[in-house]
Structure 1
Amino acid sequence: MSAAAAAVRSLPERALDALRRAGNPFRDYFARNPDDEVCARYHVPELFARERDQLLGVVDLYRYAPATHSEVVPILGNKGSGKTHLLHSIKHGPEGTWQLLVTPGTYQKEVDFLEYLLFQFIDTLLGGGRQKDARPLEFVGEQLVRGLLGKALTALAPPECLDLFPAPGLAGWARRFGLGGSQAQERTQWLIDRLARPCTLPFQAGGVRRACEEASLDLEKACELVLAHIDQTEAHNTAGLMRRQILTGFARGVLLGDEADLANFLTYGFAELDFQVRPSRQDLVLALFKVMMEVLRGLRIPVVVAFDQLEDLLLSRRTDDVHRIAEAFFAGVVQAMHHLDGISFLIFAERGLWNRFVPSLDGYIQDRLNNPIHLTDYGTIKTLRLEAPAPELVRAIVEARLRPALEQFPDFAELPLIFPFTAEQIERVARTEPTLRDMLQQFRHQFDHVVFGGNDERRASATEPYLEAGAPVNRLPVAEVFAPPLATPAELPPGIKSVVVVKTSTTSGETESEIASGSSTSDQWDQEVRSARRKLEPEGALTGATRELQAGLGTFLQICHEHGVKVGPWRLCHVVPEWTFGEHPTYGVLSIAHWVCKDGQPWKVGVGLFLGRGPAKPKDLSTKLSVLETEPAMVDHLILLRPEDDLAMTGKSKTLWQDAEKRGRHARLEPASLDAFAALYAFPRLIAALQEALPEGQPLPNLADLIQEKCEKLLEQVCMPVQG
């Protein structure tokens, strides 16, 4: 071969350069949670298509018969079998229509299950997270207000239609003589017809507002009309009063863009209604939950509660009494099924965990968990089991991973879709690895070996298929090309015909592709916090996430304790992640941290959130301050985190604070930014993602340095004061 020909780089060599620049597409080999963008980026519709159709069929049962009794469908598979990916495709994929899908990121084992479930529901409804590219609050509100406004317009008498569309100038004088009424009625009928059209996917928010603007109906007048209709049609009992407030909140949110009213009612107002007999905390929770479910059933929007990665959700701390926690969880699910109709519970769990705990449960609980569900196209199902994908599906998954990187290469069309792998390599991995995650890990290592190998010999396996015809070609896969020489038959013991030596690296350093991708615990932290911030940004989302944020605060303090985090001379010696008290479901909860300084006595510090706004502000504060009056004393010092844009104490709140100071109570207010709240919201999800990535039984790495780096200010805010 001439020197000039050698200088011309071959097609596979140039393709390898392009792949090196793009990084290893198999680097992310597991989904952190059902909202992980990696799932959408590499989604293969054929993967688990049958199982997805079955689950969507279960959901549709509640769409067509909303009052159907709540049921459970377990989805079982080995760790890494693709359970989270399947859930992501149901929550965000194009298949099926829209449903409200609640995917709890934490399990608050010390909290009443219905209360825990209600606030997961509220957090999902009010938050900024999207499902099938639609915010739940916007989708539900649009459907609800379409119907309410349409009914209100239909009930108007012809003269009342004139008041909706004020006429300028001489036209106004003409109306005094009864002229121009037909135009107003035509506009009203046009708007009624427009509102009667069903929403289509992909959903676009603001359809009701646009229809009103096209009909020249002022949005303030439209809102007044809807509120008057609600006042005339809703009952005056407890459920009716709750419905009034909820419908009013949705109407103001959709037509006026004011979501604060709904958020305040769902976290504060529902407990402040004028009750003849004051209900208990549990009764309040159940009453609100039933009304919310009734509203959604009226819209034929199914509610799905999906518990993903159940093993990490329940066993976040390996020292806990796992049987007690699992029994309480399943008993809570059955309790919710008993009290609430119309909910489809999907439980994604490892087979081993399910088989370990369910057979030991109470017989009634087992019967409810194993109750069969009948589907038209699939017959009766009790449990879905996820198996390893077939080789042809594995090939499609590999193609989906490689395609974005290969498409950046100018001569992409001339390359195989699975370059730099061979069909034999994919076939071998698909038939020998037990789970999808194991397969992706194999491809990750293989990609590193071929693309980032660092010398021509290692890249030979990728370029061999493109050598000139007649040239000798080594058909062995990369792992076998570089295996040490095998023993000769004469050197083998009797009865052994051959030996395969598998050589693995003993170094713990990152490969070149890992460095190129920049993936680390710090990057995961930043990614989770960004995702949490997006969910907390909409108006009312922070209020709706009160209980989820408190759970995150408890987890944060617990991990700080277990990993030896210190703040100046202070260290934690005991943590109670969540302690509920009083009768208010939203505000009656704190975390308790025992801070000790050197050889001194520990301070029992209550750390909570003070998120109430408007009329809810004094109630939130009085509930939190009441913990200082408990006997025996549970808390010596109270720290409340308050949004930094609303720190001022005025009116009744100021009086409550001053009265506590006069009684010698120790309390302080700390300003918290949205980023700080996002860190608390994201923290349990980060821990779950780290645990999911670890081998079975391996503990978390020490996170003290990461927490000190990322949360220095937050640590100072939740600790006793540091002198000097």
Structure 2
Amino acid sequence: MKSAIFPLEITGQALDWLRRSGNPFRNYFARNSDDEVCAIYHVPELFSREREQLLRVVDQYRYHPTTHSEVVPVLGNKGAGKTHLLHSIKHANAGNWQLLVTPGSYQRDTDFLEYLLFQVLDKLLGGAKQGSWRPKDYAGEQLMRLYLGRALGELQPEQGLELFPSQGLGWLSRAFGLGAAQAVERTNWLVDELGRTGKEGGNPGRVLRLCEEAGLSLGKAHKLMCDFLDKVTGHDAASMMRHAILRGFSRAVFLQDDGELAGFLTYGFAELDFKVRPGRQDLVLALFKAVMSIFQELRIPVVIAFDQLEDLLLARRNEETHKTAETFFAGIVKVMHQLDGISFLIFAERGLWNRFIPSLDGYIQDRLNNPVHVPGYGTINALKLESPPRELVAKVVVARLEPALRNFPGQDQLPGLFPFTLEQVEKISLTEPTLRDMLQQFRHLFDRLVYGEEPDILPVTTPVATGYSLRGETISIPVETKVEKEDLPEEVKSMVIVQVPVEPLFAPKPMPVNYHAPEAGPVPAVSKEQSPSAKPASPLHAVSLAQFWDHEVQAAREQLQPEGAVCGAVKEIQAGLGALLQLCLDQGVKVGPWRLQHVVAEYSFGDHPTYGSLTLGHWVCRDGQPWKVGIGLFLGRNLAKSRDLLVKMSAWDQDPCVIDHLILLRPEDDLILSGKGKQCWQEMEKKGRHSRLEPLALEVCATLYAFPRILANLTEGLPLGEPMPLLATLVQEKCEKLLEQICMPVHYG
């Protein structure tokens, strides 16, 4: 009869353990599918059919890289699990790799093609991984495998001796041809291994290890690549762009220097020696085609997934937003004509999509609704995400609970759904419309069961064990059993009902005196979000907001950490600056005596796609006249530094002039101006043009990069029609120094 008292002993200890671990259902999948929450709580079986269909669409661009660009709408209710599906596509372990781009906020005044290009560059140069690879590393590895093999295959015997000289013979081996056979053998071995790497998919750093094993120094490998590219590259603009990009990848792979690649993709492409100087849009299109041609050569599909379009599809509320939505969809259709080989995925709420799309131009409708052939599934117009069945919901619950109880000494004795019952899980899965709603209900139920609050919706009853299949095996799960005496089967002669008080199960209970947790299973630290004595905070509690802010900024910092990543993310950082100032305007944030009167999130000017952009903020002090302040990111390095400065200063020459004061945010490790840049700055000061440089730290870049995502996630979690919560205090706390930098001078005294 020992098993009869087992639940009371183990349950009390397990509940105490869960109180220290925190509520695992409080973590939702964020829009950023690189979020660690996705990896921890991912359930492969969820949306497996839809994932397979999308991957087959993507594979068409792998096997036929120049296939016409197409759109696949993925429709489901808000909270249906679209981000979960995106995560499973990005990190699918099927042996194939694709570049998945999830664009950020779109501004209507920005050229759509330019916006899309810099989203791709941000993903390419950033630090976030897809699978086990950074996109830049994967593309560079495959390019060097391909081109290094070609370059080695065209070597003459005497050139092979230069690369693989015989040990100890020095110049004698080159003068008399000694060791030629050994050099040829090494060359052939390396060519064979490079080819084999392509078939096996390769591992990070595989090309470098092969060069080391063959005795080929990385410096010589890079020089060989550059000489080969010089020989095989044409002299037209497209060929010159490809040549520069490939050289940049070679330097990044062999010399671990990303600067040349990032510099060309954000600066050098506009400085090529063109016979006829192209316009801004032509430059963007030429660079985009060059980048796409490299991905197509490697048979790497480019997938651009637009998530959470509810704000655009709700455009009927506001004429301005409706125009933005029209511009957005028209931009997608235009890009589909300009570029082949892109798979567009549009994740949207089904009802809003069906109501909004008919209001667009007929031609745009036709392209967005054009059927797509999916091998093995026929032709589809859209994918629909339905509510998951209860079996999958149970697996989602287990995936959430298992990490929280992983080191609990008695975990193997607990049912898989503890502290829930099977009936509770089934009831939630049947009554809630979306996966997010289910997780919210599980969060509330977890709080009630674990933190001692009596549930007022779902009853908690004394559990008994029954069989239920999860993860392929049968485990014990508590379910509610209410059997009246007259309902007993005939073969059951009698039963004993042991009444156990419910309160001790769920109220805080001390550990037994004789209970000692093994050393292998330490008690986790008390979560900052939850403590045994504290009531769980509401989703929009100030502490939760601050923690969410810090989490997103940390993810952005990791994305921007690699060399060149900040340059690639310049448009996203600029968009974050505009979003920050717009929020300050909407919520009345003041900086000293200054407050904002008007904001232009992104003002584009000139012919340079990267540098010709400012954020405009009109700051007013009490009843004075507003100062039109232009704020720009001055990120150019080396040769690009003076060019970036010249483009930014040309904002003063706009007619009519749009600024009274220019603030340039410059990386804090390179604030000193010299040469032509210093001369231009001095000339600007002589003309009485008020300008200043402000130091820009990586932490500030990460904050601005993360800010649109923070706003988007907060907006997404709000009920329909509920306004944005007041964030002024949080913004002033987190961005106090930054706000002083981008405002008119503030004097305290």
Q: When the two structures are superposed, what TM-score results if normalisation uses the length of structure 1? A: 0.91
Q: Which amino acid aligns with 2:148?
A: L
State whether residues 303 and 344 of structure 1, in contact with CA within 8 Å, keep that contact through their aligned partners in structure 2.
yes
Confirm whether residue 97 of structure 1 aligns to residue 96 of structure 2.
Answer: yes
- Structure 2 residue aligned with 1:520, among 540, 544, 568? 544
Please give the secondary structure, in 2, of the residue aligned with 1:461. Answer: coil
Give, in whole Å, the separation in 2 of the partners of 1:399 and 1:92: 21
State whether residues 323 and 357 of structure 1, in contact with CA within 8 Å, keep that contact through their aligned partners in structure 2.
no
* Other-structure match for 1:564: 588
State whether residues 133 and 202 of structure 1, in contact with CA within 8 Å, keep that contact through their aligned partners in structure 2.
no
* Other-structure match for 1:445: 444
* Other-structure match for 1:39: 38
* Other-structure match for 2:488: none
Confirm whether residue 617 of structure 1 aligns to residue 641 of structure 2.
Answer: yes
* Other-structure match for 1:714: 738
Please give the secondary structure, in 2, of the residue aligned with 1:450. Answer: helix
- Structure 1 residue aligned with 2:704, among 651, 662, 680? 680
Give, in whole Å, the separation in 2 of the partners of 1:462 and 1:540: 58
Structure 1 residue 171 displacement after superposition: 5.8
Give, in whole Å, the separation in 1 of the partners of 2:323 and 2:73: 20
* Other-structure match for 1:407: 406
Q: Which amino acid aligns with 1:700?
A: M
Give, in whole Å, the separation in 2 of the partners of 1:395 and 1:263: 46
Pick closer, same or farther for the CA change 1:69–1:32 going to 2, 3 Å: closer
Range moving further from structure 2, 665-674 or 163-172: 163-172
Q: Which amino acid aligns with 1:512?
A: K
Please give the secondary structure, in 1, of the residue aligned with 2:62. Answer: helix
* Other-structure match for 1:488: none
Structure 1 residue 408 displacement after superposition: 2.4
Give, in whole Å, the separation in 1 of the partners of 2:114 and 2:455: 62
Structure 1 residue 353 displacement after superposition: 2.2
Range moving further from structure 2, 633-642 or 322-331: 322-331
State whether residues 312 and 324 of structure 2, in contact with CA within 8 Å, keep that contact through their aligned partners in structure 1.
no
Where do residues 441-480 of structure 1 align in structure 2 (5 Å cutoff)?
A: 441-453=440-452, 461=460, 463-465=462-464, 470-471=496-497
Please give the secondary structure, in 2, of the residue aligned with 1:520. Answer: helix
Confirm whether residue 696 of structure 1 aligns to residue 720 of structure 2.
Answer: yes
Pick closer, same or farther for the CA change 1:318–1:408 going to 2, 3 Å: farther
Structure 1 residue 94 displacement after superposition: 2.3
Range moving further from structure 2, 6-15 or 42-51: 6-15
Q: Which amino acid aligns with 2:674?
A: T
Structure 1 residue 200 displacement after superposition: 7.7
Pick closer, same or farther for the CA change 1:38–1:635 going to 2, 3 Å: same
State whether residues 165 and 183 of structure 2, in contact with CA within 8 Å, keep that contact through their aligned partners in structure 1.
no
Structure 1 residue 617 displacement after superposition: 0.7
* Other-structure match for 1:657: 681
Pick closer, same or farther for the CA change 1:682–1:296 going to 2, 3 Å: same
Give, in whole Å, the separation in 2 of the partners of 1:688 and 1:342: 29
State whether residues 253 and 259 of structure 1, in contact with CA within 8 Å, keep that contact through their aligned partners in structure 2.
yes
Where do residues 248-263 of structure 1 align in structure 2 (5 Å cutoff)?
A: 248-263=247-262
RMSD: 2.8
* Other-structure match for 1:180: 179
Q: Which amino acid aligns with 2:340?
A: D
Range moving further from structure 2, 36-45 or 704-713: 36-45
- Structure 2 residue aligned with 1:598, among 611, 614, 622? 622
Q: When the two structures are superposed, what TM-score results if normalisation uses the length of structure 2? A: 0.88
* Other-structure match for 2:133: 134
Confirm whether residue 169 of structure 1 aligns to residue 177 of structure 2.
Answer: no
Range moving further from structure 2, 48-57 or 83-92: 83-92
Please give the secondary structure, in 2, of the residue aligned with 1:606. Answer: strand
- Structure 1 residue aligned with 2:657, among 633, 645, 661? 633
Q: Which amino acid aligns with 2:740?
A: E
The unaligned stretches of length 5 or more in structure 2 are: 466-477, 482-494, 505-532
State whether residues 391 and 430 of structure 1, in contact with CA within 8 Å, keep that contact through their aligned partners in structure 2.
yes
Q: How many corresponding residue pairs?
A: 690
Structure 1 residue 465 displacement after superposition: 2.9
Q: Which amino acid aligns with 2:329?
A: F
* Other-structure match for 2:362: 363
Please give the secondary structure, in 1, of the residue aligned with 2:588. Answer: coil
Structure 1 residue 165 displacement after superposition: 1.9
Q: Which amino acid aligns with 1:598?
A: R
Q: Give per-residue Cα distances to partners, 1:277-321, cap 9 Å, x unaligned.
A: 111111111111111111110000000000011124777997562
Q: Which amino acid aligns with 1:546?
A: V
Give, in whole Å, the separation in 1 of the partners of 2:341 and 2:376: 21
Please give the secondary structure, in 2, of the residue aligned with 1:706. Answer: helix
Where do residues 170-569 of structure 1 align in structure 2 (5 Å cutoff)?
A: 170=169, 172-199=171-198, 204-312=203-311, 321-453=320-452, 461=460, 463-465=462-464, 470-471=496-497, 512-514=535-537, 520-569=544-593
Please give the secondary structure, in 2, of the residue aligned with 1:226. Answer: helix
State whether residues 23 and 443 of structure 2, in contact with CA within 8 Å, keep that contact through their aligned partners in structure 1.
yes
Structure 1 residue 210 displacement after superposition: 1.4
State whether residues 58 and 303 of structure 2, in contact with CA within 8 Å, keep that contact through their aligned partners in structure 1.
yes
Pick closer, same or farther for the CA change 1:252–1:313 going to 2, 3 Å: farther
Range moving further from structure 2, 10-19 or 670-679: 10-19
Q: Give per-residue Cα distances to partners, 1:227-284, cap 9 Å, x unaligned.
A: 1111111110011111111111111111111111111111111111111111111111
* Other-structure match for 2:513: none
State whether residues 578 and 589 of structure 1, in contact with CA within 8 Å, keep that contact through their aligned partners in structure 2.
yes
Pick closer, same or farther for the CA change 1:622–1:136 going to 2, 3 Å: same
Pick closer, same or farther for the CA change 1:174–1:289 going to 2, 3 Å: closer
Please give the secondary structure, in 2, of the residue aligned with 1:276. Answer: coil
Structure 1 residue 680 displacement after superposition: 0.5
* Other-structure match for 2:632: 608
Q: Which amino acid aligns with 1:691?
A: T
State whether residues 450 and 458 of structure 1, in contact with CA within 8 Å, keep that contact through their aligned partners in structure 2.
no
Structure 1 residue 96 displacement after superposition: 5.5
Structure 1 residue 180 displacement after superposition: 1.3
Give, in whole Å, the separation in 2 of the partners of 1:643 and 1:342: 36
Give, in whole Å, the separation in 1 of the partners of 2:689 and 2:600: 21
Pick closer, same or farther for the CA change 1:317–1:374 going to 2, 3 Å: closer
Give, in whole Å, the separation in 2 of the partners of 1:459 and 1:61: 47
State whether residues 662 and 691 of structure 2, in contact with CA within 8 Å, keep that contact through their aligned partners in structure 1.
yes
Structure 1 residue 630 displacement after superposition: 1.6
Confirm whether residue 723 of structure 1 aligns to residue 722 of structure 2.
Answer: no
Q: Give per-residue Cα distances to partners, 1:606-649, cap 9 Å, x unaligned.
A: 00100001111111101110111222120000000000001010
Q: Which amino acid aligns with 1:686?
A: I
Please give the secondary structure, in 2, of the residue aligned with 1:197. Answer: helix
* Other-structure match for 2:527: none
- Percent sequence identity is 60
Q: Give per-residue Cα distances to partners, 1:12-37, cap 9 Å, x unaligned.
A: 22221122121111112443432222
The unaligned stretches of length 5 or more in structure 1 are: 479-509
Please give the secondary structure, in 1, of the residue aligned with 2:460. Answer: helix
